[in-house]
Amino acid sequence: MSIISWVTGWPGPSGFGSASTAEQVTEGIDATNLTTIITGGASGIGLETARVLALRKAHVIIAARNMEAANEAKQRILKEVKDGRVDVMKLDLASIKSVHEFADTFIARNLPLNILINNAGIMFCPYQLSEDGIEMQFATNHIGHFLLTNLLLDKMKDTARSSGIEGRIVNLSSIAHIHTYRHGIRFDKLNDKRSYSDKRAYGQSKLANVLHAKELTRRFQEEGVNITANAVHPGLIMTNLMRYSALLMKILKFFSFVLWKNVPQGAATTCYVALHPSLKGVSGKYFVDCNEMKPSTYARDESLASKLWDFSNKLITSASKA
């Protein structure tokens, strides 16, 4: 996708572009037989993703930390989608304990799982550690989703095998993945407060989202599993995600208004990658404006993806013991 397409909204090879909405890219798709989990589905583009998938008849499970907001989101969706199937479940991605509890509760419900949308996240927050002692942006944006995905993988594999329907994992990354620390991931200085940069820490976590999808793809292909994993950049959208930098974002938006999207446009790429039949078998890719785009050099590094996988597992094991 060129900068001209980005600004004008002209469609790319997929037939869609930056001006396309989530409803437009899923028009005519019947998701009746699909069950999906959407993290952070109580607000912003997560809520719009949940609404559109419910509109397309999928069984939607909103996983959220704030249950009051999640239940309000459910009612908003059901008010519009009268026969919608929407449930809410509590999930705090910054807590390893909460992620385990969520996965255990979901598996105990004996539901299928076709689509996992790792949407939730935090952005540009001041330095802080999670309850498990992990830098908060990395803990929430990557580690929580990494663990959640691993805990639900057997369920997804079983569902794909028994239903014959391809499973799909969608990681919400960001174009910010190009603005990270030197060497991409600071494996040895993850929690270093003195050299912490809220912007680079965010970019690091978003790079991790792309690398996670890449390594998942390698493992799925090695196993012959009927599941795909891709990463997406939703675009520039003013949502609660920007609460730590609202003034900066408003100033930026004033000078670059043509590049910004509304929420229905922001949810389009997620919904496209999650549902569109043209992407059957497509995995390990990075999408912008509903079209495949080459990510950064770090994001294409297979050895870095493998190293991140091992590091994440060790970090979770170490934090759980502590």
| Catalytic residue positions, numbered | 196
Residue 215 CB neighbours (<10 A): 22
What's the rounded Cα separation, in Å, for the pair 71 and 62? 9
With beta carbons less than 8 A apart as the criterion, state whether 111 and 156 touch.
Answer: no
What DSSP character marks residue 142? I
With beta carbons less than 8 A apart as the criterion, state whether 226 and 161 touch.
Answer: yes
Distances in Å between the alpha carbon of 229 and those of 27, 220, 284, 288, 297? 22, 9, 6, 15, 19
What DSSP character marks residue 65? S
What's the rounded Cα separation, in Å, for the pair 123 and 113? 28
What's the rounded Cα separation, in Å, for the pair 216 and 228? 8
Burial letters 115-150, b for 16+ CB under 10 A, else e: bbbbbbbbbbbeeeebebebbbbbbbbbbbbbbbbb
Q: How many CA atoms lie within 13 A of 158 on its CB side?
A: 10
Distances in Å between the alpha carbon of 5 and those of 174, 206, 257, 282? 18, 23, 15, 23
**Which residues make Cβ contacts (< 8 Å) with residue 226, sequence separation at least 6?**
160, 161, 164, 166, 167
What's the rounded Cα separation, in Å, for the pair 241 and 46? 11
Phi, psi of 167 (to 5 degrees): -85, 150
Distances in Å between the alpha carbon of 226 and those of 114, 231, 274? 10, 17, 14
